[in-house]
Structures are given as structure tokens and as C-alpha cells.
Structure 1
Amino acid sequence: MNGDVSASMRKSGLPYGMNFGLDAMSLRELGTVYTPDVELATTLWQESSRECKILATMLYPKDSFSQADADQWLTGCFTTELLEQLCFNLLQHLPFAQELAVRWMEDPSEQRRSAGYLLLLRLLLAKKADAAENAASEGMLKDCHSDNYQLKLHASRLVARLTAQ
């Protein structure tokens, strides 16, 4: 437990019900102790603890996670950190990850578009998607100028990656 980190997150207004302040490496080590399990991951995701939610993204069996699950879990990502952990630990490994990213990027919801941009960026960085197949769209370019910081950040990073290749 890291009280300083936890206090800092609380002071910054992060809406976790409970936060122990564990860093990602400690959580990753803890995650290796458990066998991936749908029921365990689902139970952890439903908790209001930052650490439980992050562990859930590590422990959900990748072959059991559906697009409907992804849509549902996305609504529970109320911080950029949770969205990043969901994309990095789980979504990028799914066989339908690119399809999911494209669907979310075309959604009217800013949260879904932001998640789609982040997921496609992860896929490009992990070489699980090809930049040539994913040109920057008009909507993506528009989102680079959004008032929503997270949307603007994720769209801008993706556009930079797509145009750099």
C-alpha cells in the first residue's frame, strides 16, 4: 500500500471508492498468483477499488471476453488509467480488437471514440494492426481539436502514429 500515491489520487479528484495506491508492477505481480477466471474478474471489476478493477483486466480469460463485455466494461472506465489498463491488459489481445476499435471510433459517444482511438493505437504499437489499413478519418481529425482532453489526446496520438508510418 502506498498512502502517498493514494492520497495524491484522492486529492486530484479521481473517483475511486477505495484506492490503495499500488503501482502497476505490484499489481502485475499479484495478478500472476491467480489463474484467469471469468467469475473472479467480473467480481473484481464490480468493486469500487482501483486495484480490483485493474486486476480484473489482467484476470479475465481472453478467450471468454465478448464484444458485449467490452462495451459493458467500457462504461465502467471512469478514468484514463482504467481505460489504458483495459486496452493494454485485455482488449488488445482479443481476436476482434481491431473491429472493436473501428466500431468505437465511429460511435457518437466521445468516451467510445476515445477508447477506439486508444485501442487502435495500442494495436499499431504492438504490430497487431497495419497503419496502411487505417487512414485518419475526418471525424478523427475533428476530435484532435475537441474540448474533451482525453478525446483530443487519444485522437492526436493516433493521428501522429498513422501519419508517421
Structure 2
Amino acid sequence: MNTETHEKLKTIKQSFHLSMNGTISHSMRTKGLNYKINWGIPLHELKVMAQSYGKDPILAAELWKEDIRECKILATYIMPPEIMTPEITRNWMQQTSTQEIAELLAFNLFRYLPFANKIAHEFIASPQSITQICGYQILSSLFADGQTPSPQNIDSFLNQAKVTMEDTEIKTKHAAYNCILRFCGLGESYTKAARKNLSHLDIFQT
């Protein structure tokens, strides 16, 4: 780590003390969001803080190494998508232990990757629920942005969504369900495809 990045990291950590919110931190712990260190700083404050640093791959990489909630969230904001490779993306995913960080990785960073669609399909087929949640969040973001999947990807998505919706993991099912709704939002033909493939799940209003 160079001197400039070291000083930035030091300044960021010091700022967390000033912005600490014990009430939010305690609330997160009671809801199962366990981090080694969690200052309870709201997302909107972290986003503003990230804007002051801009895109900085070196700082983002160092922030990600820290086992601190706020550091990891800042990393998702300031890492340039073009710097990420499939290998780095998988490594970051493997180092993610909470649903909050998985969703923020998807929404703030992974959705902008040039290989976002491919990695999302890989993630939703993972045996790890937190990885699946990230994958569905990436696809939800892509669908929300109006990106339409190829016929092959439609089949892949709906087949995997069916498997997920038949599972017992509530959080994963919720992520898949929201993704299905985003998929249907692409247009009538997509809604028909979802209804045809997922009709037995009784998730559509009549």
C-alpha cells in the first residue's frame, strides 16, 4: 500500500468514529447482520463519503480487505467496474458473509461489469444462498435497466428460478421472486414465459 492510500484509509477509519450510530449497529446485530466491526453508519452517509474519493481501485481494494462493514460498503462504491475481472469478482463474492454486502455488491458494482449477465447466471446456480442472492440482485438490476436476456438466458434464468422457488431458504426465494417480477416487467412476452414455466408455483396473481 502506498503512502497516499494509507493516509486515505486512516482518514476514513477515523471518520467512522465521528459518524458512529450505536442504535443502528445494535439493531443490525439483533437482525443477524454480524460484522467484526460495525459502526452503524447509514448507507446514504457512506455514499456521500464515497463521492468525495471518486473511483479509486487501489483504495477500494484496501478497503475491501478490512473486516469492517463500512469499509466493504465504501469499496463497492469506489471500485471502478472496468477494473474487475471474473476472478476478482468471484473472490469478492467468496469473501462476502452477509446479505447486506451481497446486495450492495450487486447493486453498486457488479451490475456494471461488462460480464455482469454471465456472472449473474453463474451465481444463481451456486449452492451458496448468499451467492444466489447476489446473482438474483444483479439480474434484477439488469432487468430494471431494460436489458433483455437472450432466449438461451431466458430458459436458464427461469429454470434456475424454478429450482430456487422450490427451495426452503426464505431469503433466497425472496430474491428470486423479486427478480421474476423484474423479468416480467420487461414486457408481455416475458410475463407469458414466466407464467408458462412457473405456473405450478402459484406466485402470479390471477
SS of alignment partner, residue 78 of structure 1: coil
Give me the whole-angstrom Cα distance separating, in 2, the residues matched to 1:47 and 1:24.
18
Question: Which residue does 1:25 correspond to in 2?
Answer: 44
Task: Name the amino acid aligned to 1:2.
Answer: N
Structure exhibiting the larger radius of gyration computed from Cα positions: 2
Question: Which residue does 1:54 correspond to in 2?
Answer: 73
Question: Which residue does 2:115 correspond to in 1?
Answer: 96
User: Are the aligned partners of 1:131 and 1:162 in contact in 2 as well (CA < 8 Å)?
Assistant: no
One of 172, 178, 184 as aligned partner of 1:157: 178
User: In the TM superposition, what are the counterparts of 1:125-144 in structure 2 within 5 Å?
Assistant: 125-127=144-146, 129-130=147-148, 133=151, 134-135=153-154, 136-144=157-165
Task: Name the amino acid aligned to 1:153.
Answer: H
Normalised to the residue count of structure 1, the TM-score between the two structures is 0.89
Deviation at 1:142, TM superposition (A): 2.0
Alignment length (residue pairs) = 164
More helix, by proportion: 2
- Among all aligned residue pairs of Structure 1 and Structure 2, give the percentage whose two residues are the same amino acid: 31
Normalised to the residue count of structure 2, the TM-score between the two structures is 0.73
Deviation at 1:131, TM superposition (A): 5.2
Q: CA RMSD in A?
A: 1.8
Give me the whole-angstrom Cα distance separating, in 2, the residues matched to 1:50 and 1:123.
25
Give me the whole-angstrom Cα distance separating, in 2, the residues matched to 1:29 and 1:67.
28
User: Are the aligned partners of 1:141 and 1:159 in contact in 2 as well (CA < 8 Å)?
Assistant: no
Moved more, 21-30 or 110-119: 110-119
Instruction: Give the 3 Å change call, closer, same or farther, for CA 35–139 of structure 1 in structure 2.
Output: closer
Moved more, 19-28 or 74-83: 74-83
Give me the whole-angstrom Cα distance separating, in 1, the residues matched to 2:162 and 2:148.
19
Give me the whole-angstrom Cα distance separating, in 1, the residues matched to 2:109 and 2:92.
11
2:143 pairs with 1:124: yes
User: Are the aligned partners of 1:60 and 1:90 in contact in 2 as well (CA < 8 Å)?
Assistant: yes
Give me the whole-angstrom Cα distance separating, in 2, the residues matched to 1:112 and 1:6.
24
2:38 pairs with 1:15: no
2:102 pairs with 1:83: yes
Deviation at 1:161, TM superposition (A): 2.5
Give me the whole-angstrom Cα distance separating, in 2, the residues matched to 1:88 and 1:50.
16
Deviation at 1:112, TM superposition (A): 3.0
